[in-house]
Amino acid sequence: MNTLLEAETIEKRYRLGSGRVLQAVAGVSLRVGAGEALALVGESGCGKSTLGRALLGLTPIDAGAIRFEGQDIARLSARQMRPVRARMQMVFQDSYASLNPRRNAGEALAEPLRIHKRAGVTERVRELLDWVGLPQSALARYPHEFSGGQRQRLNIARAIALDPVLLVADEPVSALDVSVQAQIINLFRELQERLGLACVFISHDLAVVRQMADRIAVMYLGVIVEEGDGLAVMAAPAHPYTRALLDAVPRPDRPLPPPLIGDVPSPISPPPGCRFHTRCPIAQARCREEVPLLRDIGAGRRVACHFPLTNVL
């Protein structure tokens, strides 16, 4: 598969008022293939949103490189970045976030097309509504006149207006009712296939990711702890954290799952050794001392654990 986006050991630190430093992304390497759906999962605060924004050049990084279609976007000027921006777009959890409340849907969709001086705006706007399953009558409606699911459809239409090749969707269905979630996930899937879009789908919810991802990357405290084929990871997780996340997904055929024990440690002072050792049910002395590197265990699976639960080879 052709590589579309490649992140190489990227780091992002936030300097807090007190002089302390919070490392939100602590050396992440990641590859997104053209047309691929990659899910980025992990608990709240593990750095998914920061990483997602960094991948699109929306947040400056402190170290590492991000290559998009072969260009190092962290080093492009604002002017050089402009045509690149059109090729990568973001969809947010809050469906109001990128919509101006005083602009109707028609205007919201026309805006990026006008800014980028595209021809045939009226026709394109109508076509975009079709793509996302909104009626033409939606053109004159304002953001507050849509349901949450419809408003997310509008955001998706806006995100694909300029024919991007990559979408980063940050918890795009978390604020929606479960029944609507499935529809929006299907829409992402459909657009991905029809338009050949690559998608980085950020979610804390493995049940959502299951339906969406070709590949899964699991994040914990700023690092990727496991990565691999979506179905294979779900069927046989190699990292104890992935296992715990999967066990926490409610299922009708079993009683309430055991919660993950303890809180996520602070990213201001992450634990030494394996970052997960304070909550890991199988941690041993080595885990407290030695940082496990993300290593290949076969079949495209990478895991950062001294004692992986499964060997893919």
Q: Which residues bind ligand ATP (CB under 6 A)?
A: 14, 22, 24, 42, 44-50, 204, 267
Question: Which CB atom, from 15 or from 295, has the smaller least distance to ligand ATP?
Answer: 15
The dihedrals phi and psi of 72, each to the nearest 5 degrees, come to -80, 100
Q: C-alpha distances in angstroms, 127 versus 88, 133, 266?
A: 20, 10, 47
Please give the Cα distance from 172 to 186 (Å, whole number): 12
Nearer to ligand ATP, 43 or 111 (CB): 43
Q: How far is the CB of 307 from ligand ATP (least distance, A)?
A: 25
Nearer to ligand ATP, 15 or 286 (CB): 15
Name the nearest CA neighbour of 207 among 156, 151, 154, 251.
251
Nearest approach, Cβ of residue 184 and ligand ATP (Å): 18
Q: Name the minimum Å distance from CB 212 to ligand ATP.
A: 16
234, 206 contact by CB (below 8 A): yes
Shortest separation between residue 17's beta carbon and ligand ATP, angstroms: 10
**Shortest Cβ 223–ligand ATP spacing (Å):** 12
In this complex, which beta carbon is closest to ligand ATP, that of residue 9 or of residue 147?
9
Name which of 21 and 140 has its Cβ closer to ligand ATP: 21
Q: How far is the CB of 245 from ligand ATP (least distance, A)?
A: 13
Q: Which is closer to ligand ATP, CB of 28 or CB of 113?
A: 28
Q: Which of 286, 285, 302 is nearest to 294 (CA)?
A: 302
Can you tell me which residue has the tokens 């529809």? Answer: 183
Q: How far apart are CA 234 and CA 79, in angstroms?
A: 42
- Please, what is the Cα angle at 7 between 270 and 203, to 5 degrees? 65
Instruction: Return the number of the residue (30 or 129) whose C-beta is nearest ligand ATP.
Output: 30
Min dist CB 85 to ligand ATP, Å, is 21
Nearest to 130 by CA among 113, 148, 105: 105
d(CA 5, CA 299): 21
Annotate 159-172 with three-state secondary structure: HHCCCCCEEEEECC
